[in-house]
């Protein structure tokens, strides 16, 4: 199926997609803050001092949290990836998935707990993921 937009219009649309401070990230952080701040836990966002620049990091507890966009990080890629029409997108998503695995391995080697959540799952039930993080914080 051909794209309904011109190459220039598609480029403009794609340039507006952001990698941080997305709506789901902000929703997640608000819910997380409401739970963890009263308990005395503090976190950093987009922490660039470690590989991967996680969306949320509890530095003292060494917990790195990523909220992965479904398209960009290849959710359902196994069944849908082969049907993508543009080699560019297949290569882009495969390289993102490879980078995610490398980041996970490196952080785990350095003693970090890595939690990755899918964007659509967080949108559906943000409380479930916040509860998982609280349990991880209190379990250490």
Domain ranges of the chain: 18-139
| Rounded (5°) CA angle 102-25-106 | 15
**CB 89, CB 72: distance < 8 Å:** no
Residue that is written with structure tokens 């967080």 in the block: 122
Average pLDDT over residues 15-26: 78
Total-model pTM = 0.82
**Which ranges in 16-86 belong to alpha helices (H)?**
23-36, 77-80
Confidence class for position 31, pLDDT limits 50, 70, 90 = very high
Write down the pLDDT at residue 119: 93
Class for the domain spanning 18-139: alpha beta
Rounded to whole angstroms, the Cα distance separating 139 from 113 reads 12
Interstrand relation of 56-58 and 113-118 (parallel, antiparallel or unpaired)? unpaired
- Rounded to an integer, the average pLDDT of 83-100 is 82
Mean pLDDT of 27-32: 96
């Amino acid at each position: 199926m051909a794209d309904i937009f011109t190459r220039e219009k598609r480029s403009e649309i794609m340039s507006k997609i952001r990698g941080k401070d997305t709506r789901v990230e902000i929703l997640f952080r608000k819910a997380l803050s409401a739970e963890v701040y009263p308990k005395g836990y503090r976190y950093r966002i987009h922490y660039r001092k470690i590989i991967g620049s996680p969306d949320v990091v509890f530095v003292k507890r060494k917990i790195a949290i990523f909220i992965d966009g479904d398209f960009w990080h290849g959710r359902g890629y196994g069944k849908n990836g082969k049907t993508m029409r543009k080699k560019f997108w297949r290569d882009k998503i495969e390289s993102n998935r490879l980078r995610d695995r490398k980041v996970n391995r490196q952080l785990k080697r350095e003693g970090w707990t890595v939690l990755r959540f899918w964007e659509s799952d967080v949108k559906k039930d943000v409380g479930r993921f916040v509860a998982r993080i609280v349990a991880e914080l209190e379990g250490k």
